[in-house]
Amino acid sequence: MKHSLVCNFEKPYKYMSSSVSVATKIANMMIHKWGGGFAYAFVAMLFVAMLGLGVIAHAADEHITSYVPSKQWNADSLYVDRGGNIGTLTTNSGTVRLVEVNSGGNITNYTVNGGTVSTITINSGGQLSLNHAGGMINTLNLNGGIIPYFENTSGGGTAKQTINTMNINDGQIGLNFGYHLNGNINNLNINKWTIAISSDGTTWGTKTQHTFRNQGYTGIPRTPVEHIYLNGDGINVSSITKGGIIVGVGIGESGSGAKVGDIYEYSKIIAGGKGVTPNFDSLTPTPGIRLIPASTAGFSLEADVASSYGITILKTITLSYMRKNTMVSNVLDSLMKKNFRSTPSKANQPKIYEQPSARTPPGAPPRYAPQMRKLATTSRQTRGKARLEKKFLSYEKNKNHIGFFAPYGGHSYFSDASVSRAHEFVGGGIGGVQKNLGQKGILGGYLGYEYSYTLADVYTQNINLQTHSVQVGATYFNSKALRSKSLREFYFKGILRGDMSVPFFETSTYAGALKTQSFNYGFGADARIGTAFYQEKAASYIAPELGISYDLLILPSFHLNKEFINQANEDYPIHLWHFPQINLSLRGIKSFGKSGSFRMFWLLGGKYNILNTQKASFTIANLQSKGDINLPIAYANLDLNFVWSIHKNHELTLGYGGIYFVGGFSRQSLQGFSNALSLKYGAWF
């Protein structure tokens, strides 16, 4: 026997309970036919393959001993994947090339009594407890997984064992008598390790062990760990990656909490061990914390609302609200026009041949006063306008209502320099009805629903935000013909809107899982005036618009509960953000063909956000922060609609809406865009 593995397989699935007995029968048959050596080798490969595929099942009470063959069988490696759960794994002698635990895999107790283990790797989502009592481990990689228990000594802690290289690339290590690591580690490379400062500078600097130092093995604590605790000088820190030590604040290991203005010394970040000492370049703050170099010996810290998780949520919700308003406005804009033909009263029609001038000589052709000639011109304009309206509005007979429904979908992106980036995917629909009030205008109402899914990252931390929202509003449009040589029309239109959103926020961070849900409310109004210039020969018109709008966004208070270790919870008060805006746009319609069955509607506009800086505040642990939150200064808006009159009184519109916004002229300013497609169905009745 060259090397041995002793495994206990635990917590299997019942429907696979016969797998072990089948494998045992195969083993007995092969031992009888070929002898023990080859049979043991085959059985070892069989069990490893079955474990990697999650096939080992109802064998909790089975104790299976097998032997790892030489490298020629390519089976000196063990992979534990999702569903793989090994109770006890023991290496007594020989060489094991690789033990790898992946997401969902677990080795409850891996004991190395002798031999050589070339590499142990614990990837994100995997767990392995290590008891190194003898032999040699060349490389240990922690790649986002968990080592609940780490013991690198034997004889009750009297004899140190050796690991040649250990790479910390993120993850967590439990505490053993108040220490993360013990024994001898020739090269400890720290690429990503998180701590949470929970004491004032003086108290923090005196700690050499965690609070659990007298409680033996404690596993992963649910209270903050303020230092990297190394037992003795047998551990050599060879390197620390730039920004490799993540620094946050905790709820207070000693109850005092971090203190603004206190100096935290670099040399005390790693308690114990020897080798490289961290400096300011070694540190990265968690979201919501700002680190300040206080001296060559240390740093100070303070809360930073601008980089916090919650403000990213609020900013994302705000940008989504603004995007949604513009997108809904785009859908409505092709309908917020003259949707019903003019029906001037016959009593008001000019009777130009009944009122000749009193100074006309007897027998001479009648001469008309200037006002009569003006009325004649107006009558010609009215007839021309009626011809245009028939092309723009292709319904038949007299109709006084129009109903519509428009599903839409889109994608948005924004970037706030190196702090945060987000992709938003949206889908929804809006429907409504308008009623013709004659000379009093056109009154309408609408109701909409939208679902959005946002993927954001803050300082490389992924955030998921799912939002359900309902919009309700009223629209009004009225126009008045202007008398002039050319056909013109003055108009006014307005929107009253309300919005209720229910965002659900979730993320997996340095601090574990974060979840919160709240209700947000928005109310707004939009008023615009414009003049439509008709071109009868071109069957089109063009209309410049000027408007103002105002929105109030109510962002209720919420709490971010960090369910795991290393970070304090965050609290955000209610925020009321006001958004007055100035709108300028140019819109037009072009009709194609004699019947006007095909039309194109377009709009090009811009908005200036007058209050583009809002106030925000939050509390993390015992630290508070207030600051300015920068939002877009200006928006550019493009809307294209292609209309097809598919049947009498029915039309179908394919629309594109684009929004482009900037927070300034600097490359570091907030920037983003949104693109959406809609398909609108309208019917007169």
Q: Which one has a higher pLDDT value, 132 or 479?
A: 132
Q: Is 31 left (phi over 0), alpha (psi -120 to 50) or beta?
A: alpha
- pLDDT of the residue at 5: 44
pLDDT surpassing 50 at residue 347: no
pLDDT surpassing 90 at residue 371: no
pLDDT band at 239; cut points 50, 70, 90: very high
pLDDT surpassing 80 at residue 119: yes
DSSP-derived 3-state class of residue 262: coil
- pLDDT of the residue at 493: 92
Question: Side chain identity at 287, as an amino acid letter?
Answer: P
Which DSSP string do the residues of 496-538 spell out, in sequence order?
A: EEEEEEEEEEEEEETTEEEEEE--EEEEEEEEEEEEEEEETTT
pLDDT band at 296; cut points 50, 70, 90: confident
User: Which range has the worst mean pLDDT, 64-68, 76-80, 266-270, 277-281?
Assistant: 64-68
pLDDT band at 380; cut points 50, 70, 90: low
Reference 674, options 685, 663, 660, 664; nearest CA is: 660
- Asked if residue 501 lies in contact with residue 520, where contact means CB atoms within 8 angstroms, the answer is yes
Q: Which one has a higher pLDDT value, 296 or 395?
A: 296
User: Which range has the worst mean pLDDT, 222-236, 372-386, 511-525?
Assistant: 372-386
Q: Tokens 């009593």 map to which residue?
A: 347
How far, in Å, CA of 471 to CA of 500, rounded? Answer: 7
pLDDT surpassing 70 at residue 73: no
Percent of the chain residues topping a pLDDT of 90: 44
Mean pLDDT along residues 105-120:
95
- pLDDT of the residue at 666: 55
pLDDT surpassing 60 at residue 117: yes
pLDDT digits (tens, 9 = 90+) for 32-58: 444 444 444 444 444 433 433 333 333
Mean pLDDT along residues 554-577:
81
- pLDDT of the residue at 56: 31
- pLDDT of the residue at 69: 33
DSSP-derived 3-state class of residue 150: strand
pLDDT surpassing 70 at residue 293: yes
- pLDDT of the residue at 646: 83
Region 309-341+382-684: CATH code: 2.40.128.130
- pLDDT of the residue at 412: 93
CA 264 from chain centre, in angstroms, equals 33
pLDDT digits (tens, 9 = 90+) for 532-547: 898 877 888 899 999 9
pLDDT surpassing 70 at residue 126: yes
User: Which range has the worst mean pLDDT, 205-219, 405-419, 458-472, 572-586?
Assistant: 205-219
Dihedral of CA atoms 47, 50, 55, 56 in degrees, nearest 10, equals: 10
- pLDDT of the residue at 41: 42
Each domain of the chain, given as residue ranges in start order, spans 76-307, 309-341+382-684
Mean pLDDT over each residue of the chain, to the nearest integer: 79
How far, in Å, CA of 366 to CA of 373, rounded? Answer: 12
Mean pLDDT along residues 582-606:
87
- pLDDT of the residue at 365: 57
User: Which range has the worst mean pLDDT, 179-188, 474-483, 617-626?
Assistant: 474-483
- pLDDT of the residue at 146: 92
pLDDT digits (tens, 9 = 90+) for 491-509: 999 999 999 998 887 766 5
pLDDT band at 91; cut points 50, 70, 90: very high
pLDDT surpassing 80 at residue 13: no
Mean pLDDT along residues 144-156:
92
- pLDDT of the residue at 68: 35
How far, in Å, CA of 303 to CA of 257, rounded? Answer: 13
- pLDDT of the residue at 176: 87
Dihedral of CA atoms 329, 335, 336, 337 in degrees, nearest 10, equals: 140
Q: Are strands 488-509 and 520-535 parallel, antiparallel or unpaired?
A: antiparallel
Query: If 0-12 CB within 10 Å is exposed, 13-18 middle and 19+ buried, where does residue 56 land?
Result: buried
In the structure, how many helices (H) and strands (E) does the chain have? 5, 44
pLDDT band at 367; cut points 50, 70, 90: low
CA 108 from chain centre, in angstroms, equals 35
- pLDDT of the residue at 327: 84
pLDDT surpassing 80 at residue 360: no
pLDDT digits (tens, 9 = 90+) for 403-446: 999 999 999 998 876 557 889 999 999 999 999 888 888 899 99
Reference 583, options 561, 614, 615, 551; nearest CA is: 551
- pLDDT of the residue at 308: 86
Q: Tokens 């202007």 map to which residue?
A: 482
